[in-house]
Amino acid sequence: MTAYIIRRLWQMIPTMLGVILLVFVLFNWVGGDPAYVLAGKISNQEQIDNIRRQLGVDQPMWVQLWIFIKQVLTADFGASWSTNEKVGHILATRLGPSLTVLVPLLILETLFAIALSLAVAYVRGSLTDRVVMIVCTVGLSISILVYIIVFQYFFAYKLGWFPVQGWGNGFVENLFVYSALPILIGLTVSIAPSLRLYRTFFLDEINQDYVRTARAKGLSENRIMWVHVLRNASIPIITNLMSSLPGLLLGSFLIERFFSIPGIGREVILAVERSDFPVIKAITVYVAFATMATNLLADLMYKAVDPRVQFK
């Protein structure tokens, strides 16, 4: 396993170099000259040249690329063009609020989706199965904006169970007060697609020969479903779960924006609105690295779930 991990880590190096080169090309050739964005509409050429000199974009392309590579290696992307705050400090302070919402949401969504999809697969073909699939289809057809507006109006404004917006200073307060309604909305939105997908995984395993053999040996249906079927369906579930982890931080921008949660997703929206390239570049690189890291973690989890998996 150690040799496999080392080999995979070495494979990340050319992948990250490709990501760095792609990000550099997109932001320098396609994104335009940032000096004109920062100078504003009322500016002269002297101001623009001064801004270009301060940002280092007046240097040759290979020099700018080397500067960007050093920024990635040192995890120092400089300061934000809009607020002059260090990019590293921005990401460090915004990561906590995002994880406060997303980690409980991910845990609850995974547990509920697995339990419900197993229960639906257990009564496959029945009226209950069809009704649940219809409800999931209806849920998938409704935009998350509708859920946010309805839940804020009903649970926060009318009933007063949750605050409409805001964020506190304590972890417990943020988790159980300010994060409760966003987690509930995220769970309502994400449970339908996960339930449908996991149900398909379980139905694929139910039709395998080992299930018929287990029934022939006299094993109970509960043991077959919750032990054998669940274990063999865990690999595609892990694949889906781990591949979605990096995107969760960015995909939560609507919830963070509507609930004024100072997280990564909200910071991405603000950076795009301000054309704050250092923040956007840093988040892009970190998400790319997180994607590769979660893929490696998923491969290691395959081995833990199914000892027959070989690292080659």
**pLDDT confidence band for 49 (50 / 70 / 90):** low
What stretches of 84-239 adopt beta strand conformation (E)? none
Residue 164, pLDDT score: 83
As a whole number of angstroms, the distance between CA 282 and CA 15 comes to: 16
Residue 249, pLDDT score: 66
3-state helix, strand, coil split of the chain in percent (to 5) is 80, 0, 20
Residue 251, pLDDT score: 60
**pLDDT confidence band for 39 (50 / 70 / 90):** low
As a whole number of angstroms, the distance between CA 151 and CA 148 comes to: 5
Residue 48, pLDDT score: 66
Q: Per residue in 202-257, pLDDT tens? A: 888 887 888 888 888 888 877 888 778 888 888 888 888 887 777 676 667 778 88
Asked whether the predicted pLDDT for residue 42 surpasses 60, the reply is no
Residue 106, pLDDT score: 87
Tokens encoding 296: 């490696």
As a whole number of angstroms, the distance between CA 32 and CA 25 comes to: 11
Residue 210, pLDDT score: 83
Distance of alpha carbon 73 from its chain centroid, rounded?
23
Angle between the N-to-C axes of helices 180-206 and 234-251, in degrees from 0 to 180, rounded to the nearest 10: 150
Half-sphere exposure of 4 (CA within 13 A, CB side): 10
Tokens encoding 71: 């920024």
More confident residue, 42 or 131: 131
Listed range (34-43, 140-149, 284-293) with the worst mean pLDDT: 34-43
**Domains of the chain with bracketed CATH:** 2-74 (no CATH), 94-274 (1.10.3720.10)
As a whole number of angstroms, the distance between CA 126 and CA 56 comes to: 66
**pLDDT confidence band for 36 (50 / 70 / 90):** low
Cα distances from 246 to residues 138, 273, 293, 294, in angstroms, run 27, 22, 10, 8
- Find out whether 39 and 48 touch, Cβ atoms under 8 Å: yes
Asked whether the predicted pLDDT for residue 134 surpasses 80, the reply is yes
Q: Per residue in 146-199, pLDDT tens? A: 888 888 888 888 888 888 887 878 888 888 888 888 899 888 888 888 888 888
Q: Per residue in 54-100, pLDDT tens? A: 666 667 777 778 888 888 888 888 778 777 788 888 888 888 888 88
**How does the average pLDDT of the chain come out, rounded?**
81
Residue 212, pLDDT score: 82
Average pLDDT over residues 21-31: 76
**pLDDT confidence band for 43 (50 / 70 / 90):** low
More confident residue, 80 or 309: 80
Q: Per residue in 103-130, pLDDT tens? A: 888 889 889 988 888 888 888 778 888 8
Q: Per residue in 266-292, pLDDT tens? A: 888 888 777 778 888 888 888 888 888
- Find out whether 57 and 33 touch, Cβ atoms under 8 Å: yes
Burial letters for 282-299: b for 16+ Cβ neighbours within 10 Å, e otherwise?
Answer: bbbbbbbbebbbbbbebb
Residue 145, pLDDT score: 84
Tokens encoding 310: 């070989």
* DSSP secondary structure of 230-277: HHHTHHHHHHHHHHHHHHHHHHTHHHHHHTT--SHHHHHHHHHHHT-H
Residue 179, pLDDT score: 87
